[in-house]
Amino acid sequence: MPLTQLLQTLTPPQTSTDKRGYDYDLVIVGGGIIGLTLASALKDSGLNILLLEAKVTSAAVAKGQAYAIHMLSALIYQGIGIWDKILPEIAQYNRVCLSDADYSEVVEFETADLGTPELGYVAEHQALLHPLQEFVRDCANVTYLCPAEVVNTQYQQDIVAIDIKVAEQIHTVRSKLLVAADGARSPIRQAAGIKTLGWKYWQSCIVAFVQPEKPHNNTAYEKFWTSGPFAILPLPGNRCRIVWTAPHAEAKALCELDDEQFLQELTRRFGNQMGKLQLLGDRFIFQVQLMQSDRYVLPRLALIGDAAHNCHPVGGQGLNLGIRDAAALAQVLQTANAAGEDIGKIQILKRYERWRQRENLAILGFTDLLDRMFSNNFLPVLLVRRLGLWIMRRVPMLKIYTLKFMIGLKGRTPELAKR
């Protein structure tokens, strides 16, 4: 659609008989994976949606970010009707090996534990982003505008007025509800005065792509060291994604090594079970933090994804929590709209908050406990965690429960995932 035509859709003309008082039912700020997932999930909702993205190319695309995609997330995308477009571009993993440094007891999660053909998937950022963008562009009820920046919001009793900067022009649109999917530093959250709880860890995370000499056999590895968790995730083309957590100074020093020295340290950390490793592309480093918003909703406002919470990368939870947020909020909004309720009312939005805030807090707490339990060499803690691995390996019910909890199958399941 030409830009001039898009701009016209922002402020549709009002007639004397138009008593709605709003231009859109819903405005989503943030056209990343989570914002796109919410818009896609509302395709058949009857809601008129405006989706805004400030940047043409995201940092995640530039850095080649990749994610573990849990089983519940895959089921949500199946329910939306987009999974067939995503699946050919991603890798599945059939086995997860969990271990503690040089401790001989390795807990292996396998497909037989769930009775499924796979345990999960690994996707590069663009493998999710591009199919979602194409899907949303085909949604008749969604206007997708990029680049577009929100410069001001004004919350009123019945609407929220949003000033949007597009092509150096300011346009004001009115909506029943504003959804912030604009990341961990969410300007929408900050402008609304929503406070957050949490902390930055003493660790930073190094991410990189490697190609092993031997096949990765669709196996994911999570190895705990006293400096922090270390993961290798399988990708298509026999490539792997490295997620290496270490104290800030150590992580910085590792990133400053030349490629050969870095690969030597990498092999020392992981072992040689996949043979010689070849580094693909650049390495990136980011600080690890935990954050939980003290509320997910206000009248006419809801937070989803990183705008609402952040967690330690151990277990690959972050993106999956955001996908569940989007599915839950979509269900709440669609149900309310079908019943003729005002989707921006706080009573409606509290249904979403009660659903997701507690479930997310449980995962944030669990990942924090994992990191603190395994990222130290205090003897009593070391004995307890190794006893835990020993028991988990020998008690199938405990192992299966832990697996289901980590991949989202122990919380409330969105209707989308049941289709």
**401 belongs to a structural domain:** no
Q: In 3D, which of 174, 132, 200, 241 has the Cα closest to residue 27? A: 174
* H or E segment and range at residue 224: strand 219-225
**382 belongs to a structural domain:** no
Residue 258 has pLDDT above 50, yes or no: yes
- pLDDT confidence of residue 411: 84
Locate tokens 């997330």: which residue? 73
**20 belongs to a structural domain:** yes
Residue 63 has pLDDT above 80, yes or no: no
pLDDT digits (tens, 9 = 90+) for 219-249: 999 999 999 999 999 999 999 999 999 999 9
pLDDT digits (tens, 9 = 90+) for 168-191: 899 999 999 999 999 999 999 999
pLDDT digits (tens, 9 = 90+) for 99-130: 998 888 899 999 999 999 999 999 999 999 99
**341 belongs to a structural domain:** yes
- pLDDT confidence of residue 2: 47
- pLDDT confidence of residue 60: 59
pLDDT digits (tens, 9 = 90+) for 191-223: 999 999 999 999 999 999 999 999 999 999 999
Distance, in Å, from the CA atom of 280 to the CA atom of 103, rounded to the nearest integer, reads 30
Given pLDDT bands bounded at 50, 70 and 90, which one contains residue 21? confident
pLDDT digits (tens, 9 = 90+) for 397-411: 999 999 998 888 888
What is the share, in percent, of the chain residues with pLDDT greater than 70?
Answer: 94
What value does the CA radius of gyration of the chain take, rounded to a whole number of Å?
A: 22
**85 belongs to a structural domain:** yes
Range in 9-18, 51-60, 289-298, 359-368 with the lowest mean pLDDT: 9-18
Residue 159 has pLDDT above 90, yes or no: yes
Distance, in Å, from the CA atom of 360 to the CA atom of 308, rounded to the nearest integer, reads 10
Given pLDDT bands bounded at 50, 70 and 90, which one contains residue 262? very high
**227 belongs to a structural domain:** no
Given pLDDT bands bounded at 50, 70 and 90, which one contains residue 14? very low
Residue 342 has pLDDT above 60, yes or no: yes
- pLDDT confidence of residue 143: 95
Structural domain for 16, as ranges: 3-90+122-198+290-376+412-418
Locate tokens 């509302």: which residue? 42
pTM across the whole model: 0.93
Tell me, what CATH number does 332's domain have? 3.50.50.60
**242 belongs to a structural domain:** no
What is the share, in percent, of the chain residues with pLDDT greater than 90?
Answer: 81
Query: Could you give the number of structural domains in the chain?
Result: 1
Residue 252 has pLDDT above 80, yes or no: yes
**28 belongs to a structural domain:** yes
What average pLDDT does the chain have?
91
- Average of per-residue pLDDT across 64-91: 95
Q: In 3D, which of 401, 361, 399 has the Cα closest to residue 109? A: 399
